[in-house]
Amino acid sequence: MPAGSLLAVDHLLGTVGTAVGVFAGTNVDDLIVLTVLFLSSRASGRPKGWQIWAGQYAGIGVLVAVSVLTALGLTIVPDRWVGLLGLMPLGLGVRGLVKAIRAHGDGEQSNPAVATGLLSIAGVTIANGSDNVSVYTPIFRTAGPGATGGTVAVFAVLVAVWCLAGSWLGSHKKVIEVVERLGHWIVPAVFMLIGGLIVVGSGVIGRVLSLG
C-alpha cells in the first residue's frame, strides 16, 4: 500500500478513535437519562420510543452545531452562564415530584413520565451535555473539514449505540416493575439530581449572586 494511503488510513483511524473516546467520556451520564426515559416509556407508555431517539439526536445535534460555531469564533451562550441550562431538568423533576405528591394525596397513582415529548427530551439532552461544548470546541477548531465530518459521523453512530444501550438497560422486567410502583418518585428525583449537579457544578449560582 502506498505511503500516502497508509497515512490516510492512520489519520482516519485516529479521527475515529478520538471521536469515540470523546463521545464516550462526555456522555456516560446520558446513559442514565436514557435508561430512565426508556424505563418510563415501558412502564407508562410515555414518552414514546421514537421521541426518545429523536430527542437524543436533536439534543446532540444542537450541542455539536454550537461547538462548531464556537470553534469558528461565534459565541452562542457565554461559558459562564451555560450552567443555567441545568434548570430545565431540575424544573421537570420538581414538576414531576409535585404531581406525584398531589396524586398521592388524592390516593391516585401518578404517571412516572417527566420528559414526555421530543422537545423536552432534546432540552434535557442539551442541558445534560452543556459542558460538552467546552470539550468539542477545541477538537473542531483544530480539525480540518474532513476530520470534522468524520467526527460528526462517528457521533451520529454512537447516539444510536447509546439509545440501544439505554433501551437494553431499561428492559429488565424487575426494574420495570420497580418503576411501575415507585417511578413517580424515582424519575423526578433523578431529573432533579441531574439538574442540581449541572447548576451547582458549573458555579453559576455564585455568578448570579455576585450580580446582586
Nearest in space to 167 (alpha carbons), one of 178, 157, 176 = 176
In Å, the largest CA–CA distance within the chain is 75
What the block records as the C-alpha cell of 192 is: 432533579
**pLDDT value of position 6:** 45
pLDDT along the chain (212 residues), means of 10: 51 76 81 85 84 94 89 65 70 78 66 71 83 78 81 94 90 69 70 74 74 67
**pLDDT value of position 3:** 47
**pLDDT value of position 62:** 92
**pLDDT value of position 56:** 94
The alpha carbon of 209 is separated from its chain's Cα centroid by a whole number of angstroms, namely 27
The span from the CA of 84 to the CA of 114, in Å, is 19
What the block records as the C-alpha cell of 142 is: 483544530
What the block records as the C-alpha cell of 175 is: 426494574
The DSSP result for 166-206, as a single string, is HHHHTT-HHHHHHHHHHHHHHHHHHHHHHHHHHHHHHTHHH
**pLDDT value of position 117:** 82
Question: C-alpha dihedral over 203, 151, 35, 94, to 10 degrees?
Answer: 30
